[in-house]
Amino acid sequence: MVLEKAKLIIVDGEGENIEVMFNPQEISFTRTSTWDDDRGNRGDELLPKVNFGGLEPYSLSLNQLRFDTYETKESVMKKYINNIKKGVNAPTGVNKRPPVYLFTWGDEYFHCVMTSLTYRLTMFLSDGTPVRALVDIALREVDKSNLPGGRKSASSKGDRVADTRVSPGG
């Protein structure tokens, strides 16, 4: 039986796919909904009426991911961490942004962006080369039909209706 690795697959942007060496022990998903208080409208118990304001995207934390290059004596920074850092660093160039990923681990979970990265170098060779790192990554869901930085509008020209109250040209 082959162990399926968790992956962040580049969908849009620059960089390389990220394959996790040692899978996480758990995945934590968080989603919140927004409720707005209408303080002027109270019920029998004098609590304000609440109105549903919408849903926030899912967020996901991958913690204590281990990357190890001890056996090959390569720098864990060069082999893994520098690529992972692209998830929170804007590439050089005009109007560039970090990549959008598809998070998978057996199942396809969602399209996402990396919102934070913490890495700790935990083992070094005698010459100071880092060969082991622990990585924490926070991801935020994005709409796969409306990726960040896209130039498409949700409506098409044919869907728009002209405002007849305004005369063209003035």
CB 38 within 8 A of CB 52: no
Residue located via tokens 């996402």: 112
**pTM over cut 0.85:** no
Which pLDDT value is given to residue 100?
92
% of the chain at pLDDT higher than 70: 83
> Which pLDDT band, with edges at 50, 70 and 90, does 106 fall under?
confident
Which pLDDT value is given to residue 27?
81
Q: Is the pLDDT of residue 165 over 60?
A: no
Instruction: Provide the total of helices (H) and of strands (E) in the chain, helices listed first.
Output: 2, 9
Tokens for 72, please give them.
Answer: 């090959």
Say whether 91 sits in a helix, a strand or coil.
coil
Q: Is the pLDDT of residue 39 over 60?
A: yes
